[in-house]
Copies of this chain bind each other. A is one copy, B any other.
Amino acid sequence: MSIFEELESEVRSYSRGWPVVFDRAQGSRIYSEDGKPYLDFFAGAGALNYGHNNPHLKKALIDYLQRDGVTHALDMFTVAKRDFLETLQEKILAPRELEYKVVFPGPGGANAVEAALKLARKVTGKESVINFTNAFHGMTLGALSVTGNSMKRGGAGVPLVHATPMPYDKYFDGAMPDFMYFEKLLEDSGSGLNEPAAVIVEGVQGEGGINAARLEWLRGLDDLCKRHDILLILDDVQMGCGRTGPFFSFEDAGISPDIVCLSKSIGGYGLPMALTLIKPELDVWEPGEHNGTFRGISPAFVTATEALRVYWSDDELEKSTKAKGERIASTFKDLVESYPEANLVAKGRGLARGLEFGSGELAGAVCKAAFERGLLMETSGPDGEVMKLLPPLTLTDDELSEGLSIISESVAAVLK
């Protein structure tokens, strides 16, 4: 029995689908300890938008470590944090005319969500929050209460209250006008809906099945929130940092949410880091009212800063992400047409792409077939029925071709 089986909890999951021991990684490839390469279209569930051990970031990181830059600093002032804040302002916020203050909420995406929910409730004096069907926001108690997945919710062991789910875009395939139900409940003082402090939404739902909200739906949601004085929290933990093309998944909708959650790829190198961006007028915290040990991990600031400089000084990455996304869409279109009886559905935006199968078994079988062919992909959606592609944004055209070939072969192997 391996040490993993002996000592690690049964809660582990990814290792069940990919039963090899990984050792090294570079760019779009990750290698098992026996040297076998895998093309990684999973990319740390979106935490590795710039690829594994990106050489630009690696250099900056090792330089920083070599010179004994401060590693751990809570919310003290550091040179590394100053560089990061200045670069965020210069490369991201200012060009987009976004005015936000930055909360360092803790090391992970769930911390960004917890801080957002706490602040929204503090500011409004209300407890209730609206979330969406098939939302995923994290595993800590506050974040879990706005997450949809029933298995994960069941793990809480206490009733998860204070959140009411509303239908995400296209949940009824157009059978119901956007926000009809939501707005009626808000306007009807007898509806029984607790007046919400905030709405929390993903621009594209990743775990929920690569559901890409239409831009007009996001705009509609933003309008509705403004009309009803509800704070809009945009959870861009997985879809931010360029995953859908622009830096923020909501940019093309032309909205500026009240609160934005970032994590995963913001650190750039896969090191834990998270941000909660808040409109300046919401900055009503007491000093220390929200705190935590891992809010000033300078190595992550260093790689985050370098990533912003290298990849967000122009719009090349955005363009390339969109173009590569279109290539995937095109391949998916072919697959949909090639297997008319399978009723495949192509989904997504930018380099967040999904192919929906009729069942979790089928999607799982395709991912397994791909793994055997050297490609890592996971499934998502409530029943795991969506094959989910989140390749590094930095993958080459050849790598993309290679991956798409494996996918086509794997689909053929399963559906033939």
User: Assuming the A-B contacts A78-B21, A172-B180, A177-B175, are A121 and B158 also in contact, with contact meaning beta carbons closer than 8 angstroms in the complex?
Assistant: yes
Residue of B nearest to A44 (CB): B72
When chains A and B are docked, how far (Å) is the Cα of A127 from the Cα of B299?
A: 39
Q: Is A101 an interface residue (CB 8 A)?
A: yes
Q: Is A120 an interface residue (CB 8 A)?
A: yes
Contacts of A44 in B (CB 8 A): 72-74, 293
Contacts of A22 in B (CB 8 A): 70, 73, 76-79
User: Assuming the A-B contacts A18-B76, A155-B285, are A190 and B270 also in contact, with contact meaning beta carbons closer than 8 angstroms in the complex?
Assistant: no
Copy total for this chain: 4
Contacts of A65 in B (CB 8 A): 53, 58, 61-62, 65
When chains A and B are docked, how far (Å) is the Cα of A160 from the Cα of B67?
A: 45
Contacts of A30 in B (CB 8 A): 70
B20 touches A77 (CB 8 A): yes
Contacts of A47 in B (CB 8 A): 72, 293-294
Given contacts A109-B293, A110-B111, A158-B159, 18 further A-B pairs with CB under 8 A are: A3-B86, A9-B283, A11-B289, A13-B287, A22-B73, A44-B293, A52-B72, A58-B68, A61-B65, A107-B108, A117-B141, A133-B188, A133-B192, A138-B292, A140-B143, A148-B192, A172-B180, A176-B181
B289 touches A190 (CB 8 A): no
A14 touches B76 (CB 8 A): yes
The interface bits of chain A over 382-411 (1 if a CB of B lies within 8 angstroms of the residue's CB, else 0) are 110000000000000000000000000000
When chains A and B are docked, how far (Å) is the Cα of A165 from the Cα of B190?
A: 10
Q: Closest Cβ of chain B: how far from A16's Cβ, in Å?
A: 6
Contacts of A9 in B (CB 8 A): 101-104, 278, 283, 285
User: Assuming the A-B contacts A21-B78, A21-B79, A181-B181, are A139 and B52 also in contact, with contact meaning beta carbons closer than 8 angstroms in the complex?
Assistant: no
Contacts of A175 in B (CB 8 A): 176-177, 180
Q: Is A118 an interface residue (CB 8 A)?
A: yes
A139 touches B291 (CB 8 A): yes
- Choose, from A193-201, A312-320, A338-346, the stretch at the interface: A193-201
B68 touches A53 (CB 8 A): yes
The interface bits of chain A over 262-281 (1 if a CB of B lies within 8 angstroms of the residue's CB, else 0) are 01100001111000001000
Q: Is A48 an interface residue (CB 8 A)?
A: yes
When chains A and B are docked, how far (Å) is the Cα of A293 from the Cα of B265?
A: 10
Q: Closest Cβ of chain B: how far from A216's Cβ, in Å?
A: 20
